[in-house]
Each structure stands twice: as structure tokens, then as C-alpha cells.
Structure 1
Amino acid sequence: MISDVNFYLAAIPAVFFYGMGKGGVGGILGMLSVPLMALTVSPIQAAAILLPLLCVMDLIALYYHRKNCNYHELKQMLPFAIIGIIVAAYFMGSLPAHIVEFIIGGLAMAFLAQKFLCKKSQTPSKVNNHLLMLTSGFASTIAHAGGPPVSMALLPKNLPKAQLIGTSVVFFALINFIKLIPYTYMGQFDAANLNTSLLLVPIAFLGVRTGVWLVNRISQQLIYTFSYWVLFLVGIKMIYSGVTGG
């Protein structure tokens, strides 16, 4: 497994934040994970270490939320998300690491721009919905950051809260398990990465439990403000690394 202390200084909070997001504190926390870990290892390796952890957390979430999924919406979402996964897998296999860093930083900045500059939520057209799902599949494969496009597609539809959560849970569970295919093909699940993932499993569960405990005990706005600032700073660092090549 990875033995670099600096890696764990980044990976432990990254996995913990993702677990907190899964626990209900805020999905934005998941956006921080790959950029944080990519400060010490390549973005692809960071995403590969995280993916098995996400699959474990997804199985737990499916147990509670699968019955609330709107499967009509899901059937429209999946095909173009899978296309996005295929496109991302091609780029991940052919682009240098610093270009992937630039893409991750760009995704972070695009999310922040959408959040703070687009004040009005409108139901996307069918074409735009397909583009959002393609973007979600792409961003999810590159950096496990496919949540914002899905939110942009689903929130304006005013689904009941249980359906919104259930549909998102089932969608990302399926997407994450599909992503195992290109990551395996690229040889990212070697002994070092898998053992490192296994070592981080307790951190993931601790993050989930902390998120569940905190969800009604701390201001959501405080969490989001913290997350936005960290995402902004890490995104800038990723863009800088992408432009300078290191």
C-alpha cells in the first residue's frame, strides 16, 4: 500500500469529507475528495483509490433508498451518463496527468460559477438534460464529481424529497459500479491501490456516521461555506498545476 505520510494527510480528510456528504451533511463535500488527494498522487490514482470506497457506501445507501427511486427518470438519465463515462475513460487513458488536473480544476470552477452566477433554476430541455447527464458521467469518472449536473437536471423537476434522494442514490450506485470497468481496464486496481482503499474504509464509515450525527446539529450554511472555499482554493491549485505541468 501507499506509505507516504503526505498522502494520508490529504487522503484521510478527503475520504472523511466524502463520507460526511454521504451521511447527509452536504454533497458538495464529495467534490473536495479527488482534488485534495491529487495534491500528493496523480488524479487518476486518487480516483481509483476512492472508487471501491464509494461502491461500499453506495451499497449501504441502496439498502435504505432504492425503493424511493423514480425509475422513469433513471432510465432517461443512464444512457448519456454511460456515454460520458466512455469519453472520460478514453481521455484518462491518453492524457498526461497535468491535463487531467486542469480538467478537475476546471470542473470545480465550473461548479462554483454555476452555483453563484446562475440564480434561477429552470427545467432543462431534453437536449440539455442529455448534455447534463453526459457531463455527469464524464465528471464522475474523472473526479467522482458528477453530482452538480444531476442536481441541475433533477432539482427543477420538484420531485418529492424521498424520490430525489432515492433517484440520485440509485443513479450514482449504478454509475460507480460501471466505472469499475474502465478503471480495471486501465490497471488502476493493483495491490497498492486496493490495499490503500481497504486501509481507508474505517475513515469512510466514520465520515458517514459523523455526517448522520451532524446533519441536525450544525449549520448547513457553515458547512457549505467551508466547502466552497476549500473547493475554490484546491481548484485553483489544480488549474495552476495543469497549466505549469506540475
Structure 2
Amino acid sequence: MITDLWFYVAAVPAVFFYGMGKGGIGGILGMLSVPLMAMSVSPVQAAAILLPLLCGMDLMALFYHRENCNYTELKSMMPFAILGVVSAAYFMDSLPTQVVELIIGGLALVFLTQKFLLKQVQFSHPIKGYALSMLSGFSSTIAHAGGPPASMHLLPKNLPKEQLIGTSVAFFTVLNFIKLIPYSYMGQLDMQNLTTSLVLVPIAFLGVRTGVWMVNIISQDLIYKISYSVLFLTGTKMLYSGFTAF
């Protein structure tokens, strides 16, 4: 188990806010979890410590939101997301994280520009959804950053807030459990990382429960405003991180 105090100073808030996002409330701090934890451990180790926690948070969130999943959307997204995981597993040791951040951040801002500034130009071909699902699986495996591509696919469908959250929760539950395979193959799910994850489990569950509670008191309109705002913030942050890393 990691015993460095400064690791936990960063990891506790990172995991809590990631849990809130899993509970249904999007949050920019969830995207910062790996960078925050990487201040005291390597980015790959930070992602490996987070992965079992994500699986646990997903199961807890699924308990609350499982009945609201749009399974038609889930079935269309999942095969291509799995292709993304397989592709990422092949490139995981060689593709710089900043390249993934530049791709995702750029796409997120292009999507928002199209949505709000170029409303008359809308591209809704099924291929777009397949590509975004694959990118979500790919970027989720590399850096736990699959949220923006999945949001770009789901948000324009204007699903009821319960279906938007439920479908996203079910999608990432399946995806994160599949990601255990490449992370195990890389040897990152060792005893030190797993015991560190175990110590952070109560923080993760508290974050999820807080997120679920907040979803129940927030209107659908506000959920969508939060989702689009989070997409803008994460896209901007990822572009900034990608450019400054070079």
C-alpha cells in the first residue's frame, strides 16, 4: 500500500469528485483525478489504482440507475467501444497521453461549436456515433477519459435525464470491467495498487452516494446545462494539457 501522505491529500478529493460524477453529476475534477494522483505516482500507476475504484463506483451507481438505461443506445455503442479498448491495449505502452488529450479536447470543442454556433449544420450519421463510441473506449483505456466522446454521442439525443445518466452509467460499467484485462496483462493490478484502491473505497462510495442524492433534486434542464458545461471545461482542459506537455 502507498504510505505517502501527499498522495492521499490529492487522491481523497480526486476520488470523491470522480464518485460524484459516477453518481450522475458531471464534474471537471473527475477528469483531473489521474493528473492529481500523478503528482506523487506515475500516471499509469494512478490510472491503475483508480480502475478498481471505478468498477466499484460503477456497480454502486448501476444499482441506483440500472432501470433507466436506454438499452437500444447501449447495444449500439458497446461493440465499437470494445474495439476502442482493444486498440488502446495495443498502443498503451507507446501512445503519449497528450496525443489522446489533444484529439479528445479538439473534438469536444468542435462538437460544442457545431451544437451552439452552427446549429444549421448538424451531422447525425450513424457512423458518427460508432466513431465516438470507439474513441470513448480508446481514451477511457489510455487515460480514463472516455466521458467527453460518450457525451458527444448521447447529449444530442436529448434523452430524459434519467436515461442519459442510466445509459452512461451502464456503458462505463461494462467498459471499466473490460479494461481490467489489459491493465492486468500490463501487471499494474499488483498488491500495492490494489490495497491502495481498497483504502480509498469508502471515499469512492461516499462520492457516488452524494452524486445520486444531488441528481434527485436537480432539474433535467440543469443536468443538461451541467453536462454541456463539463464537456466544455474538460475539452478545454485536455487541449491545454496536451499542448503544454509538448
Equivalent pair of 2:67/2:166 in contact (CA under 8 Å): yes
Residue from 68, 76, 99 that aligns with 1:103: 99
* Percent identity over paired residues: 60
In the alignment, what sits opposite 2:80? 80
Q: What corresponds to 2:109 in structure 1?
A: 113
Q: 2-side partners of 1:32 and 1:178: how far apart?
A: 22
Deviation at 1:11, TM superposition (A): 1.4
- In structure 2, what is the Cα distance between the partners aligned to 1:125 and 1:115? 14
Mapped contact 1:123–1:156 kept (Cα < 8 A): no
| Residue 236 (structure 1) aligns with | 240
Query: Using a 3 Å threshold, how does the CA distance of structure 1 residues 170 and 214 change in structure 2: closer, same or farther?
Result: closer
C-alpha separation between the residues in 1 aligned to 2:213 and 2:73?
31
Q: Which residue of 2 aligns with 1:144?
A: 144
Compute the TM-score of the two structures, normalised by the length of structure 1: 0.81
- CA distance, structure 2, for counterparts of residue 76 and residue 201 of structure 1: 32
Residue 90 of structure 1 corresponds to: 90
Query: For 1:41 and 1:235, how far apart are their aligned partners in 2?
Result: 23
Q: CA deviation at 1:89?
A: 1.3
Q: CA deviation at 1:70?
A: 2.0
Aligned length: 237
> Conserved in 2, the CA contact under 8 Å of 1:124 and 1:153?
no
Write the distance in 2 (CA, Å) between the matches of 1:47 and 1:158: 31
- TM-superposition CA deviations, 1:157-195 (whole Å, max 9, x none): 233333222221111111011011111111110011101
Change (3 A) 1:196 1:224: farther
Task: Choose 121-130 or 56-65, whichever is displaced more.
Answer: 121-130
Q: Is the 8 A contact 2:105 2:234 kept in 1?
A: no
CA separation in 1, counterparts of 2:131 and 2:73? 15
- Which moves more between the two structures, 1-10 or 195-204? 1-10
Offset from partner CA, 1:111-138 (integer Å, 9 cap, x none): 6624653434746311111110111001
> Relative to structure 1, is the Cα distance of residues 91 and 209 closer, same or farther in structure 2, using a 3 angstrom cutoff?
same
Over the residues paired in the alignment, what is the CA RMSD in angstroms? 3.0
Cα distance 1:108–1:134, how it changes in 2: closer, same or farther (>3 A)?
closer
8 Å contact from structure 1 (residues 23, 211) kept in 2? yes
Using structure 2 for the length normalisation, give the TM-score: 0.81
Q: Is the 8 A contact 1:35 1:104 kept in 2?
A: no
Describe the shift of the 1:73–1:174 C-alpha distance in structure 2 as closer, same or farther (beyond 3 A): same
Change (3 A) 1:4 1:27: same
Relative distance call for 1:170 and 1:209 in structure 2 (3 A) is: closer
Question: In 1, Cα distance between the equivalents of 2:238 and 2:202?
Answer: 25
1:38-91 superposed Cα distances (whole Å, 9 cap, x missing partner): 233222211111111111111112222222222222121111111111111122
CA contact (8 A) 1:88 1:138 kept: yes
Report the CA distance shift for 1:180/1:230 in structure 2 as closer, same or farther (over 3 A).
closer
Which runs of structure 2 are paired with 1:182-201 in the superposition (5 Å)?
A: 182-201=182-201
For structure 1, the residue ranges without an aligned partner over 5 or more in a row are none
Matches within 5 A, 1:29-40: 29-40=29-40
1:14 alignment partner AA = A
Structure 2 alignment gaps of length 5 or more: none
Q: 1:35 to 1:238 in 2, by over 3 A?
A: farther
